């Protein structure tokens, strides 16, 4: 699937997301926020100007988002922009339940935010024996390198494959090659390698996507 497919899934299928900011006490704070729209620029949500959440958004300009449905997850971490009342009428038109929450002119209490530059991940365990993960990029965000890779000192012993939960390592090649779209990032291959040639890929970890059955996705 392409980026727009993931954004459409986030907004139209998952819709309600967990969104994190930093609270006044300096610790992460989450709340459930509906994703209202998506387009080529990013995804959109709104909140009332009188909320502490609004103040955090304005001060920090950055959020982390995750949502799940049917053992599929979409996560985003990135920059936001306050676009005030732009797209507010479109949001109410496409999300009619909002007209009952904020009827008539009371919608003036709301302002719209756009996630315009973000990195994230799609993670699917609906088929547990064949998981799928993919990177999502919005705007000018750069892809981080997560997971593990096999170095040139690989001797072709195949021990990594024997302990891989998803059997996603191509051992017909030397050095062996890890399929990053199936890798759980569990690290068992690196622990088992007798030459110590399997290591984490360079770069900062991806956003924490979600936690399925004790599997922390980074």
C-alpha separations of 39 from 14, 18, 32, 214 in Å: 16, 20, 21, 33
Q: In whole angstroms, what is the distance from residue 94 CA to residue 18 CA?
A: 21
Above pLDDT 90, what percent of the chain?
88
What pTM was estimated for this model as a whole?
A: 0.85
**pLDDT per position as a tens digit, 104-159:** 999 999 999 999 999 999 999 999 999 999 999 999 888 888 899 999 999 999 99
Let me know how many helices (H) and strands (E) the chain has, helices first.
6, 14
Q: Supply the CATH classification number for the domain 147-202.
A: 3.30.70.20
**DSSP β-ladder status, 110-124 and 72-84:** antiparallel
The partner residues of 114 in beta bridges, in order of sequence, read 44, 81
Q: What class is the 3-138 domain?
A: mainly beta
Q: In whole angstroms, what is the distance from residue 33 CA to residue 51 CA?
A: 13
Q: Are 217 and 173 in contact (CB under 8 A)?
A: no
Quote the tokens at residue 173: 């090649």
Domain boundaries, the chain: 3-138, 147-202
């Amino acid at each position: 699937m392409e980026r727009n497919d993931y954004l459409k899934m986030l907004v139209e299928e998952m819709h309600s997301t967990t969104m994190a900011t930093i609270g006044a006490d300096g610790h992460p704070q989450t709340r459930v926020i509906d994703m209202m729209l998506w387009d080529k620029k990013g995804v959109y949500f709104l909140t009332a100007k009188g909320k502490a959440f609004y103040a955090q958004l304005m001060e920090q300009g950055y959020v982390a988002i995750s949502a799940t449905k049917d053992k599929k997850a979409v996560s985003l971490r990135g920059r936001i922009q306050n676009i005030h009342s732009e797209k507010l009428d479109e949001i109410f038109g496409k999300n009619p339940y909002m007209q009952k929450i904020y009827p008539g002119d009371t919608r003036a209490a709301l302002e719209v935010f756009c996630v315009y530059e973000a990195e994230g991940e799609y993670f699917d365990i609906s088929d547990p024996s064949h998981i799928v993960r993919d990177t999502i990029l919005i705007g000018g965000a750069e892809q981080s390198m997560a997971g593990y890779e096999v170095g040139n000192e690989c001797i072709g012993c195949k021990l990594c494959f024997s302990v891989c939960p998803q059997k996603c390592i191509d051992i017909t090649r030397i050095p062996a090659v890890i399929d990053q779209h199936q890798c759980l990032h569990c690290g068992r291959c690196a622990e088992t390698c007798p030459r110590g040639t399997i290591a984490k890929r360079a770069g900062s970890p991806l956003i924490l996507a979600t936690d399925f059955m004790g599997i922390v996705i980074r």
